[in-house]
Amino acid sequence: MRNKTRHEKGELSMRIRAHYRLTCVAIVLLLSSARAIADGAPIRNNTVWKDDRGQEIMCQGGNLCKFGDTFYFYGWGDYPGDNRNDTITCYSSRDLASWKFERHIYSRDMTNLTLIVPDRLHVIYNATTKKYVMIGKHILPVNDPPIPGQPRVTRGVSFFTSETPAGTFAYLGHEMLPTGAGTDYHRDLAAFKDDDGTAYVASSHDQHKPNRNIMITRLSPDYLHVDRAICEVPLTGGAFEAPYIIKLKSRYWLFVSGGGRPSPWNGSPTYVSTAEMIAGQWTPFRKVKCDPDSKDSFNAQTDFLFEVRGSAGSFVLWGGDRWSQRTGTGIGKNVWLPLHWNDDEPLLKWYPTWNVDAAAGTWTEDPKAAGTPPTGASRTATQPTSVVPAAPDAKSTVNLYPSYSNCSPGLKTRSMRTNSKLLPYA
């Protein structure tokens, strides 16, 4: 065997070095990919969110659901100034960060301009009827122009159904919520499905009047009718709106928006009340603290809360609306943050960008994101886990209506069932 020439040895050395460099690059890329998977998918606030089509996500005043292994984001496609363009939109995702536009699950019938497309949309699944039921507020948006022939209904709730979570929802009609001890004035509302399958509607009742409260109303077993009022939770100190109920570790948490200033579309502080039973006793509302301090929940209004459960744990996702198309302030229309816990109290902590691993039920902050709070703050102390604060001692609650088990006298003496059939639009 002949010895390799110096030229051949040089070529072999170059090939080895080139192969080594390629191997190093491949290892770096592999490690980067693994790190990205470990960190999860990024959720970026203060940005315009885009769907799989590259179009802006138009989804506010709604809720987040998980059916099977897919998340569904439902909301109002709000186009100020002309209600005829409004739609109800649905997006789907597997990781909570990348969203596919499914469809406009309901839009105005252009041949019938009297139809209202509602906001405060909430989809719940009825295991008995096998229907996906969507519930929404039946009222024209504040400050939007009137629709000819359609009065501003003040206490209506609309009902829609679909065979699939992302199908076209059929409008069935609307019903009136109870008047309770006050008037017939209801605005923002939210649907809540309890562990036993019973569904409720929490609504801002008489929110601009002295006896304002959050009324909790039970729905019929098929979720398509108003059944009876359960209780009224008094509001003090402001015209609160945007109610949302979530159940965590056998406790009910009722979150509300403090009402935006100078208009109801502006960001607002977030308040919370808790109870061990849906009918009460409910604690007085207290303000949810922000880190860093913010008087308007980081230029957003509380919309929904959702417990992300996975193979490694769980955490609560706080979803806020930023009505930038109506206020002209801020970037983007949605603000999502992982909810922290400070002892027994929820805490909103600002993250421009954070990473979520929806399959694991975990999240991490992005230390490279601009605007991240100083590193002197302890992550360990505020990192949420699957453990939610224990129920409060009974002495910390307030019996709002002692003689009526937290229901007002007006509710106790009135007929609870308000309608026997759905009402068509006027």
Whole-prediction pTM: 0.79
Confidence at residue 176, expressed as pLDDT on a 0 to 100 scale: 80
pLDDT range class, residue 89, cuts 50, 70, 90: very high
Place of tokens 């179009």: 55
How many C-beta atoms surround the C-beta of residue 50 within 10 A?
13
Residue 37 has pLDDT above 60, yes or no: no
334 forms beta bridges with: 321
In the chain, the percentage of residues whose pLDDT exceeds 90 is 50
Mean predicted confidence (pLDDT) in 23-48: 64
Over residues 265-284, the pLDDT tens digits come to 899 999 999 999 999 999 99
Long-range contacts of 192-195 (CB under 8 A, 24+ apart): 192/244, 192/245, 192/246, 192/247, 193/124, 193/125, 194/247, 194/278, 195/247
Q: What is the predicted pLDDT for the residue at 21?
A: 63
Beta carbons within 10 angstroms of residue 150's beta carbon: 15
Q: Is the pLDDT of residue 423 over 70?
A: no
- Average pLDDT (410-416) is 30
Query: What integer is the mean pLDDT of 135-152?
Result: 63
For residues 142-158, average pLDDT: 62
Per-residue pLDDT reduced to its tens digit, 254-265:
999 987 676 778
What does DSSP say about strands 362-365 and 289-291: parallel, antiparallel, or unpaired? unpaired
- Where are the chain's structural domains? 55-413
The C-alpha atoms of residue 259 and residue 10 are separated, in whole angstroms, by 75
How many residues comprise the chain? 426
C-beta separation of 158 from 174 below 8 A: yes
Q: What percent of the chain has pLDDT over 70?
A: 65
Mention the CATH class of domain 55-413.
Answer: mainly beta
Alpha-carbon gap, residue 65 to 123, rounded angstroms? 7
Contacts of 346-349 with CB under 8 Å at 24 or more apart are 346/253, 346/272, 346/288, 346/316, 347/288, 347/289, 347/290, 347/291, 347/382, 348/270, 348/288, 348/289, 348/290, 348/291, 348/294, 348/297, 348/298, 348/318, 349/290, 349/291, 349/373, 349/382
Q: What's the pLDDT at 363?
A: 97
Average pLDDT, the chain: 77
Choose among 111, 112, 106: nearest CA to 135.
106
Reported confidence tier of residue 60, pLDDT bands at 50, 70, 90: very high
Question: pLDDT at residue 179 above 50?
Answer: yes
Lowest mean pLDDT among 46-55, 123-132, 193-202, 374-383: 374-383
